[in-house]
Amino acid sequence: MSSFKIQRILRYDSLAARTYSENYLSEVTSCGQLFVVLELPKVDRFDQQPLIDELLNLCSTLFLSSKNTDSSVLLEDIIKKVNEILPDLNARSRLRNWLQTLDMAFGIIQGNSVCFTNIGHIEAWLISHNRFEQEASKNEHLNPIKAFSETVNGNLEEGDSLIVSTSSLFDYLAKEKIRQLIKKYTPQSASAKINALLQTVPDFVTFNSLIIKNPSDTDRELRADELTQGVQDEAVDNDIIETRKQSTPRPRTKTVLDLRATQRIPTVRKITKFFILAGFYFVLVYKTVKFIIIKIKNAILFIFSKKYRQSKEDQALSQVKSKIYTRYNWWRNLNKIKKIAVIGLVLTVLLFIQGVVYLTQKKSIEKKDQVFQQIIQSVNAKFAEADAKLIYNDEIAAEQILLEIEKSLANFQAAKPAQQAEINSIREKTTRELNKVRHIYEVPSPLEIANLASINAPTQIVQKDGKFFILGQDKLYLYDNQEISALVDFSGGLLLNDWPNKNLLLLSKTNQYSIYDIASKKISPVNISSPDTKANIIELNIYGNNLYALDNGNGQIYKYPEQGQAFGNPSPWIKDDTKANEASSLAIDGSVYFIQNNGEIIKLTKGVKDNFNYHAPRPVIGAKSSIQTFKDAKFLYVIDPQNKRVIIFEKDGSIKNQYTSNSFDNLLDLAIDPEEKAIYLLNGQHLYLLAVNE
């Protein structure tokens, strides 16, 4: 453990300051103690604080999580990670040369040793005996790839001190004064004395320093009367200087008009700049107009003047002939040896160019291969990291790592077919692992019980007494005993609903409703009044012989009471402030469930929102999803077309099962087996059976 005394000097007015400034000291661990001194200028319309927080979090996390007890090796590890993240922060800052504005020093104190590194306008001075030596100077020449490149290591003997500070401290206090205070007092007292001396400095100036001292027996604590003594002495000195200025006779001068001085007046500078730009603009316009007029004139002459065309053609041919004759005569006048030398030189240049092209292509291929190998190594490391997270049941962290793998592979362009094949294999593995973490079962080939290619655009299905009724774009169809038959014409059909406990079906299209009698195979219109002109009914559900309508237009659910084989006037069913404007589907089992386009499932009981703490699946349920259940059902069933997924919830909100398949590419509707041992999925023109796991 370190025996050093450490004290911050941080004078920072967050409102008036022209910089963001941070001074961080970590907890003392077996690795020592980490310190960071950091400063960035304030920039209009840009908040530097997130970048500062990211740098501090990176340094502290790497330090506190490390098991390396060698401070110099640990510092090199932190430097490597900081150097890796700085180019990314530089790009994200949206500021030109952001890295050049960063002032930062960080290091580790362990035992009696200190090791640190710095960039920007941060200095480090060693105070030893009567010496005041600079250990680290300003570092303004930054390599964007390796910003932190040099480290300083050393031991502090008894009584020695190290001060790491931004340059503003040395701008306002003499170095000798700082040395005397730190040498004489404990770090805490020296800091208090320095702060007292800086009280008169304007608020916009920031001081950010760190005093590290190996204490000695001669260190003194500051008395209360000593705290103000230096300030009073400094005020007296200032008064003496001012008195001398006033007592000194002012020299006699004469008035001189210096016209060049007017350029220092902002208004004059703006006016001058305006006239310069105006002059440049008019010159540019003149040259542009002149150029256009000449070109138009030449074009007109070329079109209408045969003599002008002939002269231009002769001029062009003459220039070509002249160049050819010049080259030919030059070649003819060369002797044999020079001709051979020229031919040899041309061949050498061509071979050189070919070699350069070949080497460049080879280097490019090697670089792509190297990048590919780095990606593969990184992906394998992330797979191992995800497995480690799963050992400790940290599924959220494992999922995040797998999503990072997906992202790293998304924009990679393979250079060879073998690389592409390996990338595809890794993507498939990543998808499988994600499904495993999310508890999603992949169904390679779902069981198809019917091909509905003969039906024109099927949209909805109802299972009733072991038979399937299917609503197409033009007709209502029946699938029974592996045969498809058309029951009745119903062009433009939108919704198909079962009427439980009755041998009836409810069909609807825009502002028209009909009841189909299964026994008589007849369809008859039924009057269902619209709530108002704003109504947009997107789903119907019959429960307890009452009709419930989900109305997006009013964000309401309307209840229609049964009247024989028809329904009465609607009444609003939602009693509180719950809105259903974004709802996409409706299900009823005594309570009412509807699913929003943002994936949220809302439960209402007796018209009032009920507490439904369901387990939100990952990824989030997509838009245009559908939810179903029925009276006495044990589960809630959701189809999620956006994610090619089927979700089964327990009624307490926990997830029972999730299924996905590449075949689920156009999920439209589902029907539930009454015994809840299977569900039937309408996917495009296919009817699939999906067994429900016990």
Q: Which residues contact 435 (CB under 8 A, 6 or more apart)?
A: 441, 442, 660
- What Rg, from alpha-carbon coordinates, does the chain have? 41
Using alpha carbons, select from 676, 637, 677, 674 the residue that is nearest to residue 659: 637
Using alpha carbons, select from 35, 22, 47 the residue that is nearest to residue 98: 47
Q: Residue 262: what pLDDT?
A: 55
CA torsion 536-541-543-548 (nearest 10°) is 0
What CA–CA distance (Å, rounded) separates 18 from 53?
Answer: 18
Q: Residue 98: what pLDDT?
A: 83
| Residue listed under structure tokens 């001085």 | 261
Q: Residue 241: what pLDDT?
A: 35
pTM (two decimals): 0.48
Q: What is the domain partition of the chain in residue ranges?
A: 5-240, 264-317, 340-437, 447-691
Distance of CA 337 to the CA centre of its chain: 67
Is the distance from CB of 21 to CB of 12 less than 8 angstroms? Answer: yes
Is the distance from CB of 213 to CB of 179 less than 8 angstroms? Answer: no
Q: Residue 643: what pLDDT?
A: 92
Is the distance from CB of 588 to CB of 498 less than 8 angstroms? Answer: no
Q: Residue 240: what pLDDT?
A: 34
Q: Is the dihedral of CA 310, 312, 317, 318 positive or negative?
A: positive
Q: Residue 42: what pLDDT?
A: 84
Domain 5-240 classification at class level: alpha beta
Q: Residue 245: what pLDDT?
A: 38
Identify the segments of the chain with pLDDT beneath 50.
Answer: 234-258, 260-261
| Residue listed under structure tokens 């490391």 | 381
Q: Residue 232: what pLDDT?
A: 53
Q: Residue 571: what pLDDT?
A: 93
Domain 447-691 classification at class level: mainly beta
Longest dimension (CA), the chain: 123
Q: Residue 470: what pLDDT?
A: 95
